[in-house]
Amino acid sequence: MSKETKPIFMPSVDIFETENTYEFIADMPGLDSKNIQDVLEVVLEKGQLKLIGNTYFQKPEGSRNVKLEYIEGKYQRIFKVGADINEDDISGKYVDGVLYLTLLKKKRIVNKISIAVE
């Protein structure tokens, strides 16, 4: 991984499964919610869900560094997801540094077979 894309930390993620969905709740701190499309990527491809955030720290103008603990850069999490995900029906929202994603499962088709009783 190049220096530009090396993750700076690994955000915490909780995953829940219901009958019809997978629910992801991910801490994605430091993202500018006004420009969320520019700093957050959610990619679902080849059986993987990628959550990628990019934080920027802006030093106050005319200041000097005394102590710096805020980190700047790219971070990500990658999850294997099953073939039962409907890739065309994913929704999400970003609220107060937390990403909420809902991945719908594909409808299961059940073939019922008639059995004759003799």
Q: Can you list the domains of the chain with their CATH numbers?
A: 13-105 (2.60.40.790)
Convert the pLDDT of each residue in 37-71 to its tens digit: 788 889 988 889 999 888 877 778 899 888 877 77
This prediction has a pTM of 0.74
Q: Which neighbouring-strand residues pair with 97? A: none
Chain-centroid distance, C-alpha 53:
9
**Cα separation, 92 vs 60, whole angstroms:** 32
Convert the pLDDT of each residue in 67-111 to its tens digit: 877 777 888 899 998 888 888 888 999 998 899 999 999 887 767
